[in-house]
Structure 1
Amino acid sequence: MNTLLLIPTGEGVGLTSACLGLIYALDCNGIKAGFLKPFSQELPNQVDRTTSLFSHLFQGTTVTSIAHEKVLQRWALGERDELLEEAVSLHRNVAANYDVIIVEGLLPNAQDHFATELNAALAQALDAKVVLVSTADVQNPRRTAEKVEAHLHQFGGTSSNRTAGVLFMRTRGLPEETAHIPLTIDPSLRLDNEIAGFSKELQRYNRHLGSPTLPIIGMVPFSNTLSVPRTLDIASVVEGDWIHQGDAKHRRILHSSLIASSIEYELNKFIAGELIISASERTDVLLASSLATSNGIPLAGLVLTERKAPNPQILDFCQHAIKQGLPILHTQLNTLETAQRLADFGNEIPTDDTERAEQVTRFVSSHIDVTWLQAQINTGVQPRLSPSAFRHELVQKSIAAKKRIVLPEGDEPRTVQAAAICQSRGIAHCILLAKPETVVEVAKARGIELPDDLEIIDPDLIRNQYIAPMVELRKGKLSDLQAKEQLQDTVVLGTMMLALDQVDGLVSGAIHTTANTVRPAFQLIKTAPNYSLVSSVFFMLLPDEVYVYGDCA
């Protein structure tokens, strides 16, 4: 049984993200990885964050950690061996179902002074390879090296076979363009050149760090996008009460702005993802937030401070915005206190924020050296095509195929977002059939960044050129006038582009029914020779397997 023990060099290093990212990277390489946190550091009745997120993201089974109170008691009584025996028992229970076990070590903090010593003993008890998890600053290699070296001696130093590598999380000092969020594992995101350069600097202070003796297995950039909380998460931070919770569970706080001056000088702050902070008496701010929401700008939310909540009559006036999901929170704190508390808010992932956990997991996994990973894991089992591996292979094949895909529902918000993602990742060359100005408005309202090479075609400018070919394809069944009328439907227009081999595929269904999507293909492209029936399949990604269902409906 292969076991990797992740040891943090301090608090706030992103240990949970590191564990989940490593499990995902293994999963995408066909290796079934389990998770174990032997010793809890949570308060009584609190659920362990990593264990909870692992269970949700990977549908995996694990065991309950030894309660923190019990760990403290046994350590105080000198029952270290008994504590480790129980940890080994937990490990064996988990190991029965997995090829590899990722174990989360204790965080060294003021409360658990024994954490480092117990981590070292745990590594030995489980016969685990140790991966140190630390933050890094490319501009300050000396401090980074010293932080790692301070923990190395507990495991026999760099000469020990126990220490397998270092994973740098939340790395600062890297170019901003390195912090992209992948849809799946993307080897091109690994910062090989940056790691090589940083290793040379680190070796001025520790000659082994970054060498084959103690490799850097990944350098994960700090990402503002992935460190942002949901609006829902801030209520307890500012001691607030919800006036209207709305979409607080789904909206993200990308920035926050304190509105203090006249509203006409602050309108530039009312943008997608912005949390607006203002005194409750500023009804102009409430009205401006409502107007922005009504115009399709998804603000993160509105926090009203001090004194009483707004007058109900004002809230009634803003009902349209409220119905569109604008979160509104009231706190008795003053405006500056509120802003300061939000600025000091930590970036740990809440156990119920699974959307962010999924993004962070993919992001971390894409920066891990898979070659190193495969060298460490000698399972002796045939790799399986896990759901993660299936997605990975599908995306990689799509990237290699370089297909042109037309999207008839070109101004539908989800379609615009999907096209932007696919285009920026190279999954396909996307063509949106819509008015360019409408697509730009949708993107602006939703905070979507449109790639420069995303193709947007105004249907009105190309429709007439397909009239004659369409009449020819349906000879004897359509007149020019009828063809022109049918081409008003962008699905029909897109199908004509496909019929003439101007594109390789068409995707529709966000706002059109299956019948409306398929009918033009039957009429214009038809089935292949000797075939009269059309069938469909769904790829169903279950927790551990991929199933293919034919004709699901």
Structure 2
Amino acid sequence: MVEAIRPESGRTEFGRNGVPRVARSVYVTGIDRGDGRQAVELGVMELLTRRVDRVGVFRPLVHAADGQPAADHVVELLRTRYRLDLPVTELYGLSYEEAAELGAARGQDELVSTLVDRFRALERRCEAVLVLGTDYTATTIPDELAFNARLANEFGAQVLPVVGGRQKDRQSVVTEVLNAHRAYADLGCSILAMVANRVAPAAKQPVLRGLAGKLPVPAYAVPEEPALAAPTVGQLVEATGAEVLLGDAAGLARDVRGFVFGGAMLPTFLPALTEGALVVTPGDRADLLIGSLAAHAAGAPPIAGVLLTLAQHPGPDVLALADRLAPGTPVAVVHEGSWPTAAALTQLESRLSPANPRKAEIALGLFELHVDSTELTDRIELGRSDRVTPMMFEHALLERARSARKHIVLPEGAEERVLRAAEILLRRNICDLTLLGEPAAVRRKAAALSLTLPEPDDPAPAGDRARLRIVDPAASPLRRRFAELYAELRAHKGMTVELALDVVTDVSYFGTLMVQEGIADGMVSGAVHSTAATIRPAFEVIRTSPGASIVSSVFFMCLADKVLVYGDCAVNPDPDAQQLADIAIRSAETAAAFGVEPRVALLSYSTGSSGSGADVDKVRRATELVRERRPDLLVEGPVQYDAAVDPQVAATKLPGSPVAGRATVLIFPDLNTGNNTYKAVQRSAGAVAVGPVLQGLRKPVNDLSRGALVQDIVTTVAITAVQAQLPQEAGDE
């Protein structure tokens, strides 16, 4: 639950000209280093990209490397994550060194003028710009806060100051927030809101109470998140210049949650191992190396990796054994001894970067949980773009799912991609989850992947976080109940309770029965199971909606500037006219449910009355049936694909049609045509294909491709959650 201090009644923020300003740019800044504002910058970027298509990011001053401006890790993260199609050089102003030289030679006015010119060049390309303020780290700017305030004013940007609250008591944080607001307001800034970041979790509510009624703008308190602060093994390797001897990319991405320095004998050393610890030991202690990895492999708390000191390389036999014991677990070696290595390691903290997208998801989840995104977006006052890009469609989907959180069951609970998707879904409060699998095995797998999952069945998750359950079908008290239900549903096929007791231990059947019984609102499976294994239980248990003759599917095809709906590209090989009409109606309803205005085109190899034959006649009859059953729908058919989507072709072939040239829902005559077309458009036009989304079932069940990526799973679960929000048809129960 987001909690914030609202503006004091009757007070309004004004710019220095005395008039409330509407800004297209947000300037995120601070008052000192260590405020963790990268998480806030990422969160604001997420808000901007939900509303408009062309969003830019601008870093006025950047540190240099070898005399040249260096790529900034936050800018690179935002550029990569949000696919910013902008010249990299336009995202930066000057290096700190260049700024110092220019300021010394020509004065600060000339420096500011130069930065404004560079900002305006980027701004002309964008509908909104996120500006990243200076980082208060080894700079030569005399009054950094005043400098940020002046730039924000000259850019015409709203300011979002972030105050660091790490290791500070409640009163210190409150005082610093109030002082920071006063400082930026006195310098003429239009302040968007105030954020106290990295506050001790127990201090969040006292901080908000301490700020109540004292600010004319909203104030938010974001607690410290250990998983966000923890560096990865890869970051520690980079910082220490270590040589990696063993380990894969997933291992290097593990969080380091602590350190265990090895010098004792193995029996004394092993009990000190903790989950996520990095073992630091001299390189000649093969016993501690092998013992740590053996304990990891045997189910002890999984470690992050091993760092060997004193430039001592284990022999090839030892390394070979280490690799077999815990494949993928990093083992690296540094030249220094344990003491200087320890001093270097304990000073490091994680930072957001393109190399670790999981950290970005953690940061976004934290921001969305503790900052009122709707309120902040409204205060930025950006209108929504007429275009709908793939990213905007995805953002809207996640917002919709989060708005009325549902409970989704994932049968493949121990699969790596599913676990990674589950962490994102839970962190970002998209839905509650049940993972099916043996709980201890699921937990061990998650820990080995350095994933942080909430404790199951927490009666009061912090901040109303999404909840998690892990259920073993074979050991669940629901097994008998489900077996009796399944035996009743399949009695006509000779099913008995004794047989059903075995059937329902299958995760697909167990998950489907959870949905049928209302214990979960929807199910997503298929990452490692076949389509038949996912859909067959749904056909047997959940069955079709009263108004649907068949189950069908659609893909959301996200093109560069619009979203089209394709059906049916995954389920029905050769539907007849009645079935094709049902697919068209269901696809139009699905499109409308997800914000796509339905204009339905039933496709064929001829347009209008120009062709004949059984295939064209089927489409023509289906179009007539749609018009009879749903006269409110805009529908055209038969129509060729080019006439359906190209206004110029439509003007020639079907002049005056309300659908031709602007169709949004395209219904293919058979599976061969639909499946090949969606894949051709996906590959040749660079479209993002979201689906298949099943329609026609009484309750939502969706299938994944066995090649599904983590983000595909997240998106499919969000779609399923949105489907579960829709009202059920009369007679469903």
TM-score by length of 1: 0.80
Distance 1:51 1:497, change over 3 A: closer
Does the CA contact (< 8 Å) of 2:93 and 2:119 recur in 1? no
1:306 shift after superposition: 1.5
Task: Mark the CA change 1:263 to 1:348 in structure 2 (over 3 Å): closer, same or farther.
Answer: same
Q: Could you tell me how far 1:305 is from its partner in structure 2?
A: 1.0
Q: Which moved more, 1:16-25 or 1:480-489?
A: 480-489
Q: Which of 541, 550, 554 lines up with 1:537 in the alignment?
A: 554
Q: Is the alpha carbon distance of 1:106 and 1:524 closer, same or farther for their aligned partners in structure 2, counting shifts above 3 Å?
A: closer
Distance 1:121 1:537, change over 3 A: same
Cα drift, residue 540 of structure 1: 6.6
Q: Map 1:413-492; keep pairs closer than 5 Å.
A: 415=418, 430-435=433-438, 438-439=441-442, 442=445, 448-452=453-457, 454=469, 456-459=471-474, 463=479, 469-478=485-494, 480=496, 486-487=503-504, 489-492=506-509
Cα distance in 2 for residues equivalent to 1:351 and 1:276: 26
User: Residues 145 and 356 (structure 1 numbering): CA distance in 2 closer, same or farther, change over 3 Å?
Assistant: same
Q: Match for 2:28: what amino acid?
A: L
1:359 aligned partner, one-letter code: I
Identity %, equivalent residues? 25
Instruction: Work out the CA distance in 2 between the residues paired with 1:371 and 1:429.
Output: 21
Residue in structure 2 matched with residue 512 of structure 1 by the alignment: 529
Q: Is the 8 A contact 2:282 2:310 kept in 1?
A: yes
* Residue 270 in structure 1 maps to residue 265 in structure 2: no
Q: What letter corresponds to residue 135 of structure 1 in structure 2?
A: G
Q: 1:168 to 1:532 in 2, by over 3 A?
A: same
Q: CA deviation at 1:330?
A: 0.7
Corresponding position of 1:197? 209
1:162 & 1:530 partners in 2: Cα distance? Answer: 55
When the two structures are aligned, how many residues end up with a matched partner?
520
Aligned with 1:309 (options 301, 313, 330): 313
| Counterpart in the other structure of 2:244 | 242
Tell me the equivalent position of 2:32: 10
Alpha-carbon separation, structure 1, partners of 2:181 and 2:523: 55
The farther-off stretch of 543-552 and 506-515 is 543-552
Q: Which amino acid aligns with 1:377?
A: I
How far, CA to CA, are the matches of 1:465 and 1:120 in structure 2?
Answer: 65
CA displacement 1:100-130 (0-9 Å, x = unmatched) = 3222222345542346254343233223333
Q: Secondary structure at the match of 2:252?
A: coil
Residue number in structure 2 paired with 1:72: 100
Deviation of 1:243 (Å): 1.2
Mapped pair 1:46 → 2:70 = yes
Structure 1: which amino acid aligns with 2:314? P
Give the equivalent residue in structure 2 for 1:174.
201
Describe the shift of the 1:492–1:342 C-alpha distance in structure 2 as closer, same or farther (beyond 3 A).
Answer: same
In 1, Cα distance between equivalents of 2:176 and 2:519: 59
| Uncovered stretches (5+) of structure 1, i.e. residues with no partner | 177-190, 201-209
The 3-state SS of whatever aligns with 1:260 is coil
Secondary structure of 2:25's partner?
strand
Matches within 5 A, 1:122-137: 122-136=151-165
Q: Indicate the RMSD between aligned Cα atoms, in angstroms.
A: 3.8
> Which stretch shows the higher mean deviation, 225-234 or 238-247?
238-247
> Which entry has the higher C-alpha Rg, 1 or 2?
2
Cα pair 2:231 2:255 within 8 Å, conserved? yes
- Counting only pairs closer than 5 Å after superposition, residues 318-397 of structure 1 correspond to structure 2 as 318-322=322-326, 324-370=327-373, 373-374=376-377, 376-379=379-382, 386-397=393-404
* Per-residue deviation, 1:275: 0.8
Structure 1 window deviating more from structure 2 (513-522 vs 28-37): it is 28-37
Is the Cα contact below 8 Å between 2:302 and 2:447 reproduced in 1? no
8 Å CA contact 2:159–2:191 kept in 1: the answer is yes
**For the residues of structure 2 that align with 1:488 and 1:110, how far apart are their CA atoms?**
60
Normalization by structure 2: what TM-score?
0.62
In structure 2, runs of 5+ residues without a counterpart are 1-22, 459-468, 571-674, 676-733
Residue 470 of structure 1 deviates from its aligned partner by 4.1
Structure 1 pair 386/230, CA: closer, same or farther in 2 (3 Å)? same
Do 1:253 and 1:275's aligned partners in 2 also have CA atoms closer than 8 Å?
yes
Give the AA of the match of 1:87. L
Q: 1:307 to 1:95 in 2, by over 3 A?
A: closer
Q: List per-residue Cα deviations over 1:46-88 (Å, max 9, x = no partner).
A: 2022221111122224523133143233212115444333333
Measured after TM superposition, the shift of residue 417 of structure 1 is 7.0
Deviations 1:404-453 (A, max 9, x none): x5444455565567668868987656555544555565566566443136
Match of 1:100 among 125, 128, 131: 128
Task: Give matches, 1:149-160, under 5 Å.
Answer: 149=179, 153=183, 157=186, 160=188
Whole-Å Cα distance in 1 between the matches of residues 48 and 129 of structure 2?
10
Q: Which protein, 1 or 2, shows the higher relative CO under an 8 Å CA cutoff with sep ≥ 6?
A: 1
Q: Residues of 1 paired with 2:151 and 2:172: CA distance?
A: 29
2:493 partner letter: K
Q: Which amino acid aligns with 1:477?
A: K
Where 2:295 maps in the other structure, the secondary structure is helix
Alpha-carbon displacement from aligned partner over 1:188-216 (angstroms, at most 9, x marks no partner): xxx5x44432326xxxxxxxxx7334x45
